[in-house]
Structure 1
Amino acid sequence: MLIFIFLCLGGFLAAFVDSIAGGGGLISMPVLMIAGLPAHLALGTNKFGGAAGCLSSAYRYIKSGKTNNEILKKLVPFTIIGSIIGVKCVLSISEQVLNILVFVMILAVAIYTYTSKSLGCENTFEKITNKNLKLGIIMAFLLGFYDGFFGPGTGTFLTFALIKIYGFDFLHASANTKILNLASNFTALILFILNGQIDYKIAVFYAVAMILGGYFGAKVAIKKGSTLIKPIFLIMAFGVAIKLVYQSII
């Protein structure tokens, strides 16, 4: 019984944080590993719960009107295609090399965000242009691909990219990130289901906790806006970087 309480609390917290600024996997994966699940089963079970939590927060953001459906309907298909190819290519790139590359990129994003005080504080989006649409499609495909075969920091990269490409503030970037994340999550989830890598006894409890966490996290983010999201975004970005260094050392 205690283990299920631990899983529910961990799942709720992970989804709550993830719905605000991404990086919830830093919490949700260790919780499952502590509960005794082997790595591949933990990945699949985490994706099951994560997809449910993502759906919950995405619904809350859509309902609030913070998403840009015109952009999303153009980018989501490329995120799905990228995720499918990413899952298929998962074994072709060394995880050690990938850790180093992602560490450098995410640390650069965190430092740039910290030093640029005005970044993501004001929503300056005007319209879709050929330039920002092409950049958005490339970004959606690459990060869908990345999420399909690796994952850590996907939400962080997506949020940062949407701010830089479209001029969103953190709130609107986080809202649109959730929809793109939802697309890549469900794509990967289907593949985990087909490969039998989900512990459904745990996944169902985890999913319920993450649905609640995602819903309330998005609600808090919408209420507090970019002033809350930016510091949590920075904490999670540095957290992902530290996790990657730790993984490389052990």
Structure 2
Amino acid sequence: MLDPLVLLALAGVGLLAGFVDAVAGGGGMISVPALLSAGLPPVAALATNKMQSVIGTAMAVLTYWRRGYIDLRKLTLAIVLTFVGAAGGAFAVKQVDTALLNVIVPVALVAIAGYFVFAPNLSDADRTARLAFPLFGPVMGLLIGFYDGVFGPGTGSFFTVCFVTLFGFGLTRAAGHTKALNLVSNFAALLVFIFAGDVVWLAAIAMAVGQVAGGYIGARAGIRFGARLIRPLVIVVSVAMALRLLISG
């Protein structure tokens, strides 16, 4: 049984994590250490984090969608294959050696941060796509969804950079579509954790309360400030995740 003050603190952490996640992804960097500090075992912390994260991400998706930044019809096939990939990754995680990912992923995250630092003309305006989204968007969803099910850190950054560089999305629209696919991949992995009985529901509910507020505020901030907020926050989050993976690895 968790102390009421611990639950209150977790709700505050959920709010902050939800805000960061709605804008740039990477809210798990904040929420998972908090859950571990509250005394949850690692698997329970990961499962509980998925539960509360799904709530905040759903709020962010709803906010972006209501303001016209997500085209769900365009995303339909990508949503299906993201779910398939993430569920497959969650089931395969015990058979996959993730040691190499501890080296590759930080390098990829630093490269993403470098792209957002140095790439010219990163704005909210859409640009010419390098690849056709109806054909390659679902492939992106399948691959990154599988990665999220197996490992996870940086999923939001990987989705965002693909939407911007491959499919020509402006940053705010990329953030909205990233949240939609991230919600699907998190939900698929969450189902596996729920059936395994790994979620600590009291902690998840406390954090979800904060996540609802954080996801809404973060999405509104992303919409209002656009690339001026999303670009620097993606850079900070990507570098911070890379450092955390290198240190913990």
TM over 0.5: same fold?
yes
User: Cα RMSD between the aligned structures?
Assistant: 1.5
Distance 1:64 1:167 in 2: 20
SS of 2:99 mapped into structure 1: helix
Rounded Cα–Cα distance in structure 1 between residues aligned with 2:62 and 2:150: 26
User: Structure 1: where are the runs of 5+ without partners?
Assistant: none
Q: Aligned runs of 1:72-221 on 2, under 5 Å?
A: 72-124=75-127, 131-221=132-222
Contact 1:19 1:178 in 2 (8 A): yes
Q: Deviations over 1:81-132 (max 9, x none)?
A: 1011101110222232111111121111111221113234422267xx9833
Quick one: which of 29, 46, 49 aligns to 1:46?
Answer: 49
What residue number does 2:32 align with? 29
Displaced runs of 4 or more, over 6 A: none
Q: Deviations over 1:43-82 (max 9, x none)?
A: 1110110000011110001101011223211210110010
After TM superposition, the structure 1 stretch with the greater mean CA deviation from structure 2, 225-234 or 130-139, is 130-139
Q: Is the 8 A contact 1:135 1:165 kept in 2?
A: no
TM-score normalised per structure 2: 0.94
Work out which of the residue numbers 58, 61, 65 in structure 2 matches 1:62: 65
Relative to the length of structure 1, the TM-score reads 0.94
Q: CA deviation at 1:139?
A: 0.9
Q: Distance in 1 between matches of 2:44 and 2:128?
A: 41
Distance 1:176 1:109 in 2: 18
The alignment of Structure 1 onto Structure 2 pairs a total of residues equal to 246
Structure 2 Cα separation of the partners of residues 125 and 175 of structure 1: 19
Q: Does the CA-based 8 Å contact 2:96-2:150 persist in structure 1?
A: no
Gaps of 5+ in 2: none
